[in-house]
Amino acid sequence: MSYEEWGPLANLIGTWESGLTGLDISFHNDIGEMATTPYSEKSSFVGFGPVDNGVQVLYGLDYRRAVFAEGSEKPLHMEVGYWMWDAVERQVFRCFNIPRGQAVMAGGTVQPGSSSFRLQAELGSKCYGILSNHYLEKVARATRFDVTVMVENSSFSYDETTTVDYMMSSTVILHTDRNTLTRVNSSAETGLRDVALR
């Protein structure tokens, strides 16, 4: 089956998993400093479209992501959202929410056949931006999000950085996550909604 309408997102369609190959480098409140956490991951991308938005026509992926620390059945991190492709404007954008009360829309210009691309979001931007709840805005303000994605055959890799201003200590940290996942299902119609998160 061809998924040409999804452009550079076509090869993401399906379900992906990794062992403990993920690496999270972030501030850990319990120890008061930066620390590294290996993680496993399950992510799914379910195709939909077309979405008519006036004269704009979009194709998208319903996106679910769950990250697990070693030995834990409770997710360390979760995301739900969409990855979208605008073929006319050559734009990929990723819109997602996390359950700590934060929403991100990151985007960038991408060529239709690209196997790798970069998306960005900035606090205060009217186009690709970041929103946080009242508490996070006061305590740990996310000001920038950058992600580089590479998809080749059955391998999906990403390297992402969130810049965070810790307001109490006037410290800026770079929270980074990187991983390589393997496709376990190439269906456009199944996803984490059909996969037990454990």
Q: Respond yes or no on whether the N-terminal peptide bond of residue 112 is cis (omega within 30° of 0).
A: no
How confident is the model at residue 103, as a pLDDT? 98
Residue 191 lies inside a defined structural domain of this protein? no
Residue 45 lies inside a defined structural domain of this protein? yes
Residue 196 lies inside a defined structural domain of this protein? no
Other C-beta atoms closer than 10 Å to the C-beta of 29 total: 8
Q: Per this entry, what is the length of the chain?
A: 198
Residue 194 lies inside a defined structural domain of this protein? no
Residue 190 lies inside a defined structural domain of this protein? no
How confident is the model at residue 191, as a pLDDT? 41
Q: Which amino acid is at 25?
A: I
> For the purposes of burial, counting CB atoms within 10 Å of the CB of 175, is it exposed (0-12), middle (13-18) or buried (19 or more)?
middle
Give the confidence band of 169 by pLDDT, cuts at 50, 70, 90: confident
How confident is the model at residue 188, as a pLDDT? 53
User: Which of helix, strand or coil describes residue 7?
Assistant: helix
pLDDT tens digit sequence for 74-106: 999 999 999 999 999 999 999 999 999 999 999
Q: pTM of the predicted model, to two decimals?
A: 0.91
Residue 10 lies inside a defined structural domain of this protein? yes
- What is the domain extent for residue 175? 4-185
Distance, in Å, from the CA atom of 181 to the CA atom of 42, rounded to the nearest integer, reads: 8
Distance, in Å, from the CA atom of 83 to the CA atom of 131, rounded to the nearest integer, reads: 18
Pair 69, 48: CB distance under 8 Å:
no
CATH of the domain at 106: 2.40.128.20
What residues contact 197, with CB distance under 8 A and at least 6 apart?
42, 66, 75
- Tell me how many domains the chain contains: 1
**Residue 134 parent element (H or E):** helix 134-139
Report which DSSP code applies to 12. Answer: G
Distance, in Å, from the CA atom of 25 to the CA atom of 17, rounded to the nearest integer, reads: 20
pLDDT tens digit sequence for 130-161: 999 999 999 999 999 999 999 998 999 999 99
Structure tokens at 180: 């390589």
Distance, in Å, from the CA atom of 78 to the CA atom of 74, rounded to the nearest integer, reads: 10
Residue 53 lies inside a defined structural domain of this protein? yes
